[in-house]
Amino acid sequence: MDEPLPRGVGCCAEPPRIRRLEESVVNRIAAGEVIQRPSSAVKELIENSLDAGATSVSVAVKDGGLKLIQVSDDGHGIRFEDLPILCERHTTSKLSAYEDLQTIKSMGFRGEALASMTYVGHVTVTTITEGQLHGYRVSYRDGVMENEPKPCAAVKGTQVMVENLFYNMVARRKTLQNSNDDYPKIVDFLSRFAVHHINVTFSCRKHGANRADVHSASTSSRLDAIRNVYGATVVRDLMVIKVSDEDAADAVFKMDGFISNANYVAKKITMILFINDRLVDCTALKRAIEFVYSATLPQASKPFIYMSINLPSEHVDVNIHPTKKEVSLLNQERIIETIKNTIEEKLMNSNTTRIFQTQPLISSGLAQANTQKDKVSELSMGSGTKSQKIPVSQMVRTDPRNPSGRLHTYWHGQSSNLEKKSDLVSVRNVVRSRRNPKDASDLSSRHELLVEIDSSFHPGLVDIVKNCTYVGLADEAFALIQHNTRLYLVNVVNISKELMYQQALCRFGNFNAMQLSEPAPLRELLVMALKDDELMSDEKDDEKLEMAEVNTEILKENAEMINEYFSIHIDQDGKLTRLPVVLDQYTPDMDRLPEFVLALGNDVTWDEEKECFRTVAAAIGNFYALHPPILPNPSGNGIHLYKKKRDCMVNEHAGNDLISDENDVDQELLAEAEAAWAQREWTIQHVLFPSMRLFLKPPKSMATDGTFVQVASLEKLYKIFERC
């Protein structure tokens, strides 16, 4: 049997005819773009009421707006002679020529909103103008009146009632069946309008309900409007912000509003943006503000933003979105950058004091899941109320982000310039390191490795990591941290190795790269690593050279893959030119580069995809981990290792005598060692621990392998003191 020809193939097929769509079809298609959901209809009707000069707007909704939307206002009303064309497309009182669009100040202008509603619902309008003895009620369908306007009793203004929305659009109505979806959006719209238009009274309620979900009275204060709608707790943490660019020759804009400070805590951003009194969204501005706050609030709290931007009308293009949801601005990037810089400066100046709300603390153990109830004593107050007092043995006196609990704050005369860097800058750079420009490749093997991390982390350790206070370094390998009333020793090498491994998988395919100042030949690096390897000490030099050649060829063969996924670039000549940036503001110890190259050649399983990704990430984790510097620690007795006269070390007493003489110490090498150890300590405090709080998911094995060791407990110390 002959197979049917594909569509569009065949010499005898005639091209389809082009037909003119019927006007009713055109209008219904356009209506679906303008009125996307019930909340869109409410927004359009509210804007019409505000354009009519209303001082009171009331909204009633039934079944999320699908069965009924009723918007009443006390505006100037609609003329009787205009009622016949009220709901026809492109009938408006806002403009008469296209040039008027350049200076438009009203929120509506195209005359499509009411017309669109009549094509997807049943619309009834009741209106009365000033001086009339009675009002008129008329119903519309498909853009035309169903009957002549009927006289009726009415109050000042206009009432628009939309019933059975999307009755003729079955697919869309089915997607909107859940009335709980759109009513919150309608309440949100009313709340935003109430904050901006403080001279207008707004109310919103479900049909038949006695209590309004939004009730904002006219007020002279913007803060009062925010307090009425969003509550007093929001107003408590708001700051005034003003930006003006009037002196610029090519742009004139003003912005005033309120932004939340560092004490404000919310899970979702609230951004109310009005441009020339028009409620709009601006994704670029929202992202810029979120970025500034993410650097200030490392706990991923979201801000509250209210902004009113005023620009010359000719600098704003309002006709770019069917629902007028977005606008296009002249010099938009410059305006956003100016606002962003002002917010950042305001936050930095206000972040000197933080207020933390008190709440009961729950101690989490490492291996034990036993929790003890806090012993609480109640003290009677003069007013008759009772307050809870936490026993002194269970009081936590430090905060994870407060430096007062760290050892270096009590060291005087030894602070380095590294310790004086701004905490805000450090946190901002750490946050930048996790923001990838695009999603990682959707490879199943890489996804499986991430699932393994998510399924094997220890909940108790995660709580400790995210809420610990860094105290200081205990020795070369361990750091001290405090979590609630317990003190822990943490193996810095182990946690940094695990953090780098997890980051290598999370940033898979999306690394930034650091360029080496000079390309490093793989062959020479491998020879250096093989000579330093104790297991290869018995091998001859010729055998080491042969192994270096073999590993070089292996790496060159797989250069394209490791460059694409891990940003490790090897050129055609077998030279290493670029390395990945695993954490911003951190560079690995380049003295360990030969060891890293040897691990890539020897330890990576190139034949199996999942194991290949795992072993490459493990090699990266080991290389980027915060190992002790190769130069010995010069503090304390370690300074004798930097004496010039090694022959004198035969006699211990003679060596101790030479330590006191500075001329016998290699000052240049000593300075290099001190700088390396100081840099490591600064990196641990300002890069490793902030990054650890954000990204690390400690595996369960760390609870038992000595990575986390509890060394003290406040409750047990108090018991010891009580016995004394």
Cα→Cα distances 394→363, 482, 485, 629, Å: 10, 13, 6, 39
In a domain, 569, yes or no: no
Burial of residue 293 (CB within 10 Å: 0-12, 13-18, 19+) is buried
pLDDT average, residue stretch 434-439: 42
Note the pTM of the prediction, 2 decimals: 0.49
Same domain, 102 and 132: yes
CATH number of the domain enclosing 273: 3.30.230.10
pLDDT average, residue stretch 191-198: 92
pLDDT average, residue stretch 266-275: 88
Q: Which of 195-199, 630-634, 708-712 shows the lowest per-residue confidence on average (mean pLDDT)?
A: 630-634
Residue 194 has pLDDT above 60, yes or no: yes
Number of structural domains found in the chain: 2
Per-residue pLDDT tens over the stretch 324-336:
677 777 788 888 8
Write down which residue in 334, 349, 364 finishes a domain. Answer: 349
Same domain, 263 and 326: yes
Query: Bridge partners of 135?
Result: 152
Pairing of strands 238-244, 254-260: antiparallel
Q: Are 490 and 708 in contact (CB under 8 A)?
A: yes
pLDDT at 694: 86
pLDDT at 384: 44
CATH number of the domain enclosing 181: 3.30.565.10
Same domain, 191 and 280: no
Our CA dihedral for 228, 234, 236, 240, rounded to 10 degrees, sits at -90
pLDDT over 70 percentage in the chain: 74
In a domain, 551, yes or no: no
Same domain, 147 and 116: yes
Per-residue pLDDT tens over the stretch 498-541:
999 998 888 888 888 888 888 889 888 888 888 877 656 566 77
Per-residue pLDDT tens over the stretch 75-84:
989 988 888 8
Same domain, 165 and 244: no
Write down which residue in 169, 193, 216 finishes a domain. Answer: 216
Q: Mean pLDDT, the chain, as a whole number?
A: 78
pLDDT at 551: 87
Same domain, 165 and 260: no
In a domain, 539, yes or no: no
Same domain, 205 and 243: no
Residue 418 has pLDDT above 60, yes or no: no
Residue pointed to by tokens 């954490």: 583
Q: Are 568 and 515 in contact (CB under 8 A)?
A: no
What residue numbers bound the domain in which 273 lies?
A: 231-349
In a domain, 485, yes or no: no
Q: Residue 247: which pLDDT band, with cuts at 50, 70 and 90?
A: low
Same domain, 124 and 39: yes
In a domain, 194, yes or no: yes
In a domain, 251, yes or no: yes
In a domain, 7, yes or no: no
pLDDT average, residue stretch 187-213: 90
Write down which residue in 184, 216, 248 finishes a domain. Answer: 216
Same domain, 44 and 131: yes
Q: Are 569 and 563 in contact (CB under 8 A)?
A: yes
Same domain, 196 and 51: yes
In a domain, 389, yes or no: no
Give, to the nearest 10 degrees, the angle between helix 222-230 and helix 179-196: 160
Same domain, 245 and 141: no
Same domain, 136 and 243: no
Q: Where are the alpha helices (DSSP H) in 269-331?
A: 283-296
What are the b/e assignments for 600-622, b being 16+ CB within 10 Å? bbbebebeeebebbbbbbbbbbb
